[in-house]
Amino acid sequence: MKLLKPSWVNHDDKPIFSVDIHPTGKRFATGGQGGDSGRVVVWNLNPVLFEAVEVDPNVPKMLCQMDNHLACVNCVRWSNGGKYLASGGDDRLVMVWGLSVAANATPGKHKAETWRCLATLRGHAGDVLDLAWSPLDKWLASCSVDNSIIIWNAEKFPDMVCVLNGHSGLVKGVAWDPVGKYLASQSDDKSLRVWKTADWAQEIVITEPFEECGGTTHVLRLSWSPDG
């Protein structure tokens, strides 16, 4: 394994809190703090992978910079099909972005590509901490410090499918199983909950592995094994 730290990947020396690679491996996105707002940046991955490309002045490194969030961005996630990028932040908003191919979408400063906000999802009463697309991009799940998880209809934004309540502490992470039958959530209340997508009922609550955790930051994210 080789560790690379491209000096040009930065948010004007402000913190970066999330990174996600596009499914095609051609781009990656970062989310964090900007100048006076939250910032999402789409980058070209080739200059990271190939030194000859990195030093080529004709190859853009930053593809698009979006400063639409009113506060720090905590999470960026590409859809599995790569068509959309979702971002969530301290402004309690989830934004869904798409690549514009319109004739009048002329790239400008910080824009070798033009990514437009297609939908702004409002529903959380606190900072949005994590996002997850279902395997077939039918749903988008978001979780927040308001202790809730919201399931959004990704085929008809900004429609909300349901709100999952049950955690007694802020929800730090959400993850779909590989076939989209279950959604798992991890919370500050030292519990992991699994929800059924058939009716969004709670399938199981797991607490035993987390009972001896010394602090609420002991577990921050969760992930399913590839075989479910």
Kindly report the pTM of this predicted structure.
0.89
Longest dimension (CA), the chain: 58
Residues 89 and 143 in one domain: no
Residues 177 and 102 in one domain: no
Kindly report the length of the chain: 228
Residues 110 and 136 in one domain: no
Cα separation, 147 vs 97, in Å, equals: 25
Residue 218 banded pLDDT, cuts 50, 70, 90: low
At 214 the pLDDT is: 62
Residues 112 and 47 in one domain: yes
Domain count of the chain?
2
Residues 139 and 113 in one domain: no
In a domain, 158, yes or no: no
Each residue of 78-121: pLDDT tens digit?
A: 999 999 999 999 999 999 999 987 544 444 455 789 999 999 99
Terminal alpha carbon distance of the chain: 27
At 181 the pLDDT is: 95
At 208 the pLDDT is: 79
Q: What is the mean pLDDT of the chain?
A: 91
Residue 210 banded pLDDT, cuts 50, 70, 90: confident
Q: Which residues of 28-64 are buried (b: 16+ CB within 10 A; e: fewer)?
A: bbbbbbbeebbbbbbbbbbbbeeeeebeeeeebbbbb
Higher pLDDT, 105 or 71: 71
In a domain, 88, yes or no: yes
Segments forming the whole domain that contains residue 146: 129-153+167-228
Among residues of the chain, what percentage have pLDDT more than 70? 93
Using DSSP's 3-state secondary structure scheme, residue 183 falls into strand
At 104 the pLDDT is: 45
Please determine, for residue 190, whether its predicted confidence score (pLDDT) is greater than 60.
Answer: yes
**Cis ω before 158 (30° cut-off from 0):** yes
CATH number, position 84: 2.130.10.10
